[in-house]
Amino acid sequence: MKEVHELLVAVVGENNVVTAKVDRVAYARDLTPYFSPPDLIVFPESRDHVIEILKIASKRDIPVTPRGGGASFQGSSLPVRGGIILDMSRMNKILEINKDDMIAVVQPGVRYETFEHELNKHGLTFPHDVGSHDAATIGGILASDSNGHHAYKHGRVSPWVQGMEVVLVDGSILNLGSRAPRYNMGYNLSALIAGSIGTLGIITQATLRLIPKMEYEATIGAFFQNLDDLMKASHAITMSGVDCGTLEATDGYTVNTISEVMNLGFPKCEGNFVGDVQGFSEEELQLKLNTIKKILEEHNGEKIIIARDEETTRTLWAPRLEIDIAIMKVHPGYREIGFAAADPCVPLSKMAEAMRVIGRIIRSHGILAAVFCHTGIGIIHPAVLFDPLNREHWIGVKNAEKEILDYVHSIDGVITAEHGLGYVKNIYVEQAVGGLKLKLDREIKRIFDPENILNPGKMGLDTNERDADVQFMYDEYISDGELWGVKK
């Protein structure tokens, strides 16, 4: 690696290559249990840097794992075979915001929150706000084909990419799309690259479609004694034609815990509903709110709250966003860890049942569960909350994970619709997608990256990448004394 280090320094400069143990450890982890340090971390500042880095790596068969904010939740940006971490955070310029063409041209390392803040100043928005918006980068969001909070209304992110510059593993530059709003020219490689989590190429620039930011916004919430009523209400809102940005639900355990810990005075319930609504005028917004309120009442929604200020909005969203902090207060030492059953998708008619069953499966293994869902698009987010130092809890998580995914299959659902396959779902991929699809995926990978340099070990593309046994994260922590400087 000494030679590689010197070559990389010659390309990007001394300040842009890092090899200290403490830094390698920082890049060895994400929100999953796994631990795999890279050999070195490189910060490209331009497309040309990326080209030269890839040429150096591919000549020597060194794995390269791109990383944006590292918030993937599924081990996507972990360097599971070591090698180089390509940290894109210094390619973070917003190159253009163009109101006439309704586009922005950005480098991949721009954080979503920063980007959206700048767009709002121009009355524009890129409506793909992810829960990790303060960490997540545009490169990471595109490479994961993320589903933002407003995916119910705006869909996933890939159709919003008008143009993309991608550096392939041999250093060649693939330009897709343009500044024009649409193109239809053969296979949709832009959609293929978006969602390929850095396994096919490195996104070095993107031209993104924008829309006007609606001036009038509100959040409406209600509490239900019965999840079936809640889901029927959500479906009735969809059928009314009111174009909500989000339709969300959180289970009773979570709502009741948050209410108690934060003293919010919510009624005890089996679940709460939250919807975001926008309008181009106050009248339009009121019309939508009245329609939704009536539907919620007709379906036995209680304590309907309409939030027009930041504090009330935060209160309504608290069960969805604050559960990690609340749980730590009730159960010190507990935390949420990314696992393979974090984002399955089920048929809309099965949502109430699935929320109950999934919560029950997790709790039956002696760990806590907070279950959220995007009611309008079928995605369920079970969060496992437990003590990561307790080996029994880990075994519970692994068993629950498998049971949940089997259950999801049994009701004709899919194992992931938001975070993607990443690393944690490797062992479930073949069962989920089928042998032929996996074979085709592997062929596509081989065409783009024949030597498997780019983000290897992900999406089930490599065989036998991960065994099914419990991997106890703190075994690494405790045993690798040399790296951590601690004794077992």
Ligand X SMILES: Cc1cc2nc3c(=O)[nH]c(=O)nc-3n(C[C@H](O)[C@H](O)[C@H](O)COP(=O)(O)OP(=O)(O)OC[C@H]3O[C@@H](n4cnc5c(N)ncnc54)[C@H](O)[C@@H]3O)c2cc1C
Residue with CB nearest ligand X? 140
Work out which of 16, 65, 207, 426 binds ligand X, going by CB under 6 A. Answer: 65
In the range 73-132, which residues lie near ligand X by CB under 6 A?
A: 73, 76-77, 88, 108, 130-132
The three-state DSSP-derived secondary structure of 156-204 is: CCHHHEEEEEEECCCCCEEEEECCCCCCCCCCCHHHHHCCCCCCCCEEE
Work out which of 37, 38, 63, 69 binds ligand X, going by CB under 6 A. Answer: 69
Cβ count near 71 (within 10 Å):
24
What is d(CA 175, CA 469) in angstroms, rounded to the nearest whole number?
42
**CB-CB contact of 216 with 278 (8 Å):** yes
In the range 12-31, which residues lie near ligand X by CB under 6 A?
A: 31
Near ligand X by CB under 6 A, which window of 19-27, 59-67, 393-401, 431-439? 59-67
Shortest distance in whole angstroms from residue 335 CB to ligand X: 12
* For ligand X, the closer CB: 131 or 366: 131
* For ligand X, the closer CB: 273 or 295: 273
Question: How is 276-317 classified by DSSP, letter by letter?
Answer: EEEESSHHHHHHHHHHHHHHHHHTT-EEEEEE-SHHHHHHHH
Work out which of 57, 202, 249, 369 binds ligand X, going by CB under 6 A. Answer: 202
Who contacts 419 (Cβ-Cβ below 8 Å, separation ≥6)? 72, 73, 74, 76, 144, 338, 342, 343
H-helix or E-strand spanning residue 26: helix 21-26
* For ligand X, the closer CB: 168 or 255: 168
Shortest distance in whole angstroms from residue 272 CB to ligand X: 18
Strand 246-251 relative to strand 173-177, pairing: unpaired
Strand 103-106 relative to strand 94-98, pairing: antiparallel
Rounded to 5 degrees, what are φ and ψ at 285? Answer: -60, -45
419 is a site residue for ligand X (CB under 6 A)? yes
Site string for ligand X, 163-182 (x = CB under 6 A): --------------------
Shortest distance in whole angstroms from residue 348 CB to ligand X: 19
Rounded to 5 degrees, what are φ and ψ at 143? Answer: -65, -20
* For ligand X, the closer CB: 206 or 289: 206
254 is a site residue for ligand X (CB under 6 A)? no
70 is a site residue for ligand X (CB under 6 A)? yes
**CB-CB contact of 242 with 286 (8 Å):** no
In the range 123-162, which residues lie near ligand X by CB under 6 A?
A: 130-132, 135-137, 139-141, 143-144, 146-149
In the range 437-456, which residues lie near ligand X by CB under 6 A?
A: 455
* For ligand X, the closer CB: 285 or 316: 316
Shortest distance in whole angstroms from residue 161 CB to ligand X: 12
- The number of angstroms, rounded, from the C-alpha of 260 to the middle of its chain's C-alpha atoms is 29
In the range 332-351, which residues lie near ligand X by CB under 6 A?
A: none
**CB-CB contact of 237 with 295 (8 Å):** yes
**CB-CB contact of 304 with 238 (8 Å):** no
Cα-based angle 127, 199, 437 (whole degrees, multiple of 5): 90
Near ligand X by CB under 6 A, which window of 71-79, 248-256, 266-274, 310-318? 71-79
Shortest distance in whole angstroms from residue 86 CB to ligand X: 8
* For ligand X, the closer CB: 25 or 135: 135
- The number of angstroms, rounded, from the C-alpha of 391 to the middle of its chain's C-alpha atoms is 27
**CB-CB contact of 64 with 45 (8 Å):** no
* For ligand X, the closer CB: 65 or 259: 65
Cα-based angle 448, 450, 455 (whole degrees, multiple of 5): 75
Shortest distance in whole angstroms from residue 393 CB to ligand X: 20
Near ligand X by CB under 6 A, which window of 60-68, 225-233, 260-268, 281-289? 60-68
Could you tell me how many residues of this chain bind ligand X (CB under 6 A)?
A: 36
Work out which of 97, 169, 197, 424 binds ligand X, going by CB under 6 A. Answer: 197
326 is a site residue for ligand X (CB under 6 A)? no
Q: Tell me the two tokens of residue 405.
A: 């995914």
Q: Tell me the two tokens of residue 255.
A: 């709502």
Shortest distance in whole angstroms from residue 283 CB to ligand X: 31
Q: Tell me the two tokens of residue 363.
A: 């709790």
Shortest distance in whole angstroms from residue 68 CB to ligand X: 2
Near ligand X by CB under 6 A, which window of 18-26, 65-73, 212-220, 223-231? 65-73
* For ligand X, the closer CB: 322 or 403: 322
Name the 3-class secondary structure at 248.
strand
Residues that bind ligand X (CB under 6 A): 31, 65-73, 76-77, 88, 108, 130-132, 135-137, 139-141, 143-144, 146-149, 197-198, 202-203, 418-419, 455
